[in-house]
């Protein structure tokens, strides 16, 4: 059993939860994820690791309440326990460029969460690190203070202009690429956002890493739900990733696969509401 040490809302439907999980905290690396279950025999969902504290034996997860299990997770209180918390799973973060000197990370939505440990580690390894964070409005852009404390510069883009520029993260990226000599871009967020980033960087031949964690279901490769084409070869986001070279990802296939379970997700939300 895994004890809930603390939890707090980050926005209306996004929460941060700190879990006591000694074995996971001892072994995890940026880019990896855990499988979480709220009920012993219930659904298990993949959640990326936002942060970890090896001394306190804790793992931070951030989740958006969108389906049955995340709604049940939201109902859990501090001091209660989760029966399932498996990990670390997946391949630790890796990039198309080894030892980059100047990096820009781009995060959108809950994708901002797994971006954080990756950017912090790159900064610790000596890179100059800039970050671009985006959302529909200022209250939906999470972890602002955390990023500002560990990277060199943080830029913002919101649809309504309530934080940073009024526009998209790709608008900021296009401007920065015209002025800065980045040797690596890392984008984590909605699939449409990651594809848009690659559409900006690929013509300029700026190496770009993306994370396909939005596709993962069972986390072991058994279900095949996260099967994707990478450079024409079949890979699984959960066991071969979630990080891949963005230039090699078939984003059209990823978007089609992401829509497979929309109807099931809707029925699960209705089940929680009853």
Q: What is the DSSP string of 139-206?
A: GG---HHHHHHHSSEEEEEETTSSSSEES-HHHHHHHHHTT---SEEEEES-HHHHHHHHHHHTTTT-
Confirm whether 234 is domain-assigned.
Answer: yes
* 106, 40: one domain: no
Same domain, 242 and 132: yes
Which residues, 6 or more positions from 14, have their beta carbon under 8 angstroms from its beta carbon?
62, 63, 64, 65, 110, 140, 142
Domain extent at residue 77: 2-89
Q: Which pTM was predicted?
A: 0.88
- Quick one: 109 and 190 in the same domain? yes
Tell me what the mean pLDDT of segment 233-240 comes to.
Answer: 83
Q: What is the pLDDT of residues 244-262, one digit of tens each?
A: 999 999 998 888 876 655 5
Residue 197 lies in a domain: yes
pLDDT value for 263: 52
Give the tens place of pLDDT for each residue, 82-116.
Answer: 999 998 998 999 999 989 999 999 999 889 999 99
Is the pLDDT confidence value at 271 over 60?
no
Backbone φ, ψ for residue 40 (5° rounding)? -55, -45
Question: Mapping DSSP to helix (H, G, I), strand (E, B) and coil, where does residue 138 land?
Answer: helix
The pLDDT tens digits of the residues spanning 121-176 come to 999 999 999 999 999 999 999 999 999 999 999 999 999 999 999 999 999 999 99
My answer on whether 114 and 224 are in the same domain is yes
Structural domains in the chain (count): 2
- Give the pLDDT of residue 225: 66
Question: In this structure, is residue 267 part of a structural domain?
Answer: no
Question: What is the pLDDT averaged over residues 168-191?
Answer: 94
């Amino acid at each position: 059993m895994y004890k809930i040490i603390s939890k707090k809302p980050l926005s209306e439907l996004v929460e941060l939860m700190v879990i006591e999980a000694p074995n996971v905290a001892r072994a995890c690396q940026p880019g990896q994820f855990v499988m979480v279950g709220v009920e012993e025999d219930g659904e298990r969902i993949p959640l990326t690791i936002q942060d970890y504290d090896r001394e306190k034996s804790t793992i931070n997860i951030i989740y958006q309440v969108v389906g049955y299990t995340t709604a049940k997770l939201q109902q859990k209180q501090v001091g209660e326990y989760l029966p399932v918390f498996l990990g670390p799973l997946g391949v630790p973060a890796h990039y198309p460029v080894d030892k980059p000197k100047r990096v820009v990370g781009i995060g959108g939505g809950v994708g901002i969460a797994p971006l954080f440990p990756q950017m912090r580690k790159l900064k610790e390894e000596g890179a100059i690190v800039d970050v671009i964070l985006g959302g529909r409005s200022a209250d939906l852009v999470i972890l602002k203070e955390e990023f500002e404390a560990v990277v060199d510069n943080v830029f913002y883009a919101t649809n309504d202009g309530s934080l940073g520029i009024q526009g998209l993260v790709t608008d900021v990226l296009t401007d920065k690429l015209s002025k800065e000599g980045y040797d690596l871009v890392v984008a984590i967020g909605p699939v449409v956002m990651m594809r848009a980033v690659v559409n900006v960087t690929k013509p300029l031949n700026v190496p770009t890493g993306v994370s396909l964690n939005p596709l993962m279901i069972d986390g072991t490769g058994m279900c095949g739900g996260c099967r994707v084409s990478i450079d024409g070869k079949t890979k699984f986001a959960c066991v071969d990733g979630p990080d891949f070279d963005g230039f090699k990802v078939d984003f059209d296939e990823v978007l089609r696969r992401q829509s497979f379970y929309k109807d099931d997700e809707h029925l699960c939300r209705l089940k929680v509401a009853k």
